[in-house]
Amino acid sequence: MIPHSENSDPPWHGAGLSHVGLMRSSNQDAFVVDNGLGLWVVADGMGGRAGGDIASALTVKVLLDHFQGLKQRGGPAVFKQDNGEASVQLRRAFQQADEAIRGRAREEPALSGMGTTIVALVVSSLSPLQLVIGHVGDSRAYLYRGQELRLLTRDHSLVEDLLARGSISPEEVATHPQRHILVRALGIEGQTDPDISQHAIQPGDILLLCTDGITKMLSDQQISAHLSHAAHSPDEACKDLVAESNARGGKDNSTAVVVRFF
C-alpha cells in the first residue's frame, strides 16, 4: 500500500444520509462523515425524551471537534500502528460528549434526561489498514466482506442482556415488549461506558454505521443486498437503505453511513 499523506487521497470513501421517516415529526438522528480525518459517526437521540435531537447533534459535534483539534495541534490524522492511541482518543471523545450532554441538561432543566446512542469509526493505522469502533446503545456497525455481512457491535439493550443470559430465545427478541429499553446511552448517569474494538481492514471491505431506524425495518439479507452495490457508490447505498426503510414503514428516523475501503 502506498502510504497516505496530506496531499494524497485516502484509500477509502464514506457517505451518509439521514431521514425523518414516515411516522416521526422530527429527526433525532445525527451523523458525521469526514473522509479527510478518517472519522465517521452516527448518533440517535433518545426517543421520547426531551432534547434527543440536541443530545445527538451535540455528540457528533464533540467527536468531530475532538479529532479536528488533535490534527490542528499537530497530532496525526491517522494514528501510529498498535500504540493504542486511537482507542484512547475515541474513549476520551465519548467521555467529553457525555459530559457535554449532562452540562447542557444542567443549564436547561427542560432537557433533563436527554441522551443518545452513538457508534463511531476512526482509522487507526494505514499499514496495515486498521480501524477502531466505539459504541454505546443500539446504533450498530456492520462489516460487509466477500458478500457476507457481520455485525461488529452488540446492542446495549435489555433484550440483548436477556438473550445473553439465556432468559429469552433469539426468536423472542424482535417481539419482546421491552425491546426498546436501552441499558447504556450517553448522557445517562452510570450507563455511558463504551465498547471499543479494533479491526483489520482489507481492500474491498465496506463498513455500515446505522441507527435502529434501519435495522428494525430491514433484515440482514436486505442490508446485504444494498451494500453489495456500495463498491460502486457508498452514496447510492445510503440512499437505497434509507429509501427501503421508508418503503417498509419508516417507523423511525433512519440514518446510514457507508464507508468503502480500497
C-alpha cell recorded at residue 222: 436486505
Instruction: Return d(Cα 162, Cα 167) in angstroms, integer.
Output: 5
pLDDT band at 164 (very low <50, low <70, confident <90, very high): confident
* Per-residue pLDDT at 1: 25
| Crossing angle between the packed helical segments 220-227 and 234-247, to the nearest 10 degrees | 150
**What residues have CB less than 8 Å from 143, skipping those under 6 apart?**
149, 150, 152, 199, 205, 206, 207
Single pTM value for the model: 0.94
Count Cα neighbours of 251 within 13 Å in the Cβ-side half-sphere: 8
Burial (CB count <10 Å: 0-12, 13-18, 19+), residue 224: middle
Instruction: Answer yes or no: are the C-beta atoms of 43 and 29 closer than 8 Å.
Output: yes
Determine the Cα–Cα distance for residues 70 and 81; give it in Å rounded to an integer.
Answer: 17
Tell whether the model's pLDDT for residue 3 goes beyond 70.
no
The confidence band for 7, taking pLDDT boundaries of 50, 70 and 90, is: low
pLDDT, mean of residues 226-252: 95
Domains assigned to the chain: 13-261 (3.60.40.10)
CB 234 within 8 A of CB 260: yes
Q: Is the pLDDT of residue 48 over 70?
A: no
